[in-house]
Amino acid sequence: MIRILIADDSELTRVVLRDLLSQDASLEIAGEVCDGLAAVEQTAKLKPDLVIMDVMMPRMDGLEAVAEIMAATPTPILMLSANTDPHDSRGAFAAIKLGALDVMPKPSGVVTEAFSQIAGQLIAKVKSLSRIQVIHHYRVQRSKVEKVPVCLPAGPRRILAIGASTGGPKAVMQILQELPKNLPAAVLIVQHIADGFAPGFADWLDRESTLSVRLARSGDKLQAGTVLVAPNSGHLTVQSNRVVLDDSAPLHNCRPAVDALFNSLARQELAAETVALLLTGMGTDGADGLGRLQERGAYTIAQDEVSSAIFGMPKAAIERGAATQVLPLEQVAEVVCRLFAR
């Protein structure tokens, strides 16, 4: 049984969340609160497997509550945002920086034909996040990580391709924060994220790093020092050094998919000039594409198990022999900088 604490000041939202979560008998509502202070207190008391948290609440907002919970009783937290607009979703991404794991749009109280689909998405997210051992990763981030020996090949590199899913937003942010503004590489990112939040994700990364970050558009030319993030509307692919947004069917039930990006690079001479990172996430998306890139001369990196929120995608790549190197998150940016300095 997965026990959930709901923290939202809207009674209607709490009712809707109860209705959505009640579609799965393995989920139990351990408690409900209407402000951030109560969320902190009840998390300590009830010790739920997951907290679903609103950003804006009275007495103590969601940001402060996340910080308090992560300091006192580290627990997986899913943020809800009433608006996916980049400016309005900043609070949700700020919460991720503080330790929350993911963000989803707040469900409305209007009953629609999409109820089952929304319930399915929420239930799947709750189940995946509730399994993450937050205490373990909270400690790892603050401990000294032993460096993995790295042998770097010679050869020019000019593309950095990154794929991530659950737990990825914060991991991607940490990597970009450590990359220099004059990085001699174009950066392409595919992050599985709830519909509508890709613009907010790109805006957040732009504010958190020295690199220029924005959503990718069809026709964009790959330029050093520029980070392009896949929009929610299509697969991010590359042809002839330019972005092509592909609205073809989802891969691994995902659009955008990491494999779409990796495979598009593997089909071109660009592969040998690519460094590809496959980070934390559930499932196998990106594993096959990482292998194809490696076969074509790319330097491929998979995040290690200890630093991954969910060791799904990287594990699949490692088991396929697709990773040139397996690294803890804390060492990835350093190795990337060394690869592009050669």
For residue 211, what are the CA distances in angstroms to 198, 202, 214, 219? 17, 11, 10, 20
CA–CA dist 208, 310 (Å, integer): 23
Residue tagged active-site, from 285, 288, 307, 308: 285
285 included as an active-site residue: yes
CA–CA dist 266, 236 (Å, integer): 14
136 included as an active-site residue: no
Residue tagged active-site, from 54, 61, 102, 192: 192
CA angle in degrees (0–180, nearest 5) for 128-132-138: 150
Show Cβ contacts of residue 10 under 8 Å, excluding neighbours closer than 6 positions. 54
Residue tagged active-site, from 165, 264, 307, 308: 165
Nearest to 104 by CA among 88, 121, 117: 121
For residue 215, what are the CA distances in angstroms to 28, 130, 174, 197? 38, 30, 19, 11
Whether the CA torsion 121, 122, 123, 129 is positive or negative: it is positive
CA–CA dist 68, 62 (Å, integer): 10
Whether the CA torsion 314, 318, 322, 323 is positive or negative: it is positive
Phi, then psi, of 190 in degrees rounded to 5: -115, 115
218 included as an active-site residue: no
Which residues are tagged catalytic? Answer: 165, 192, 285
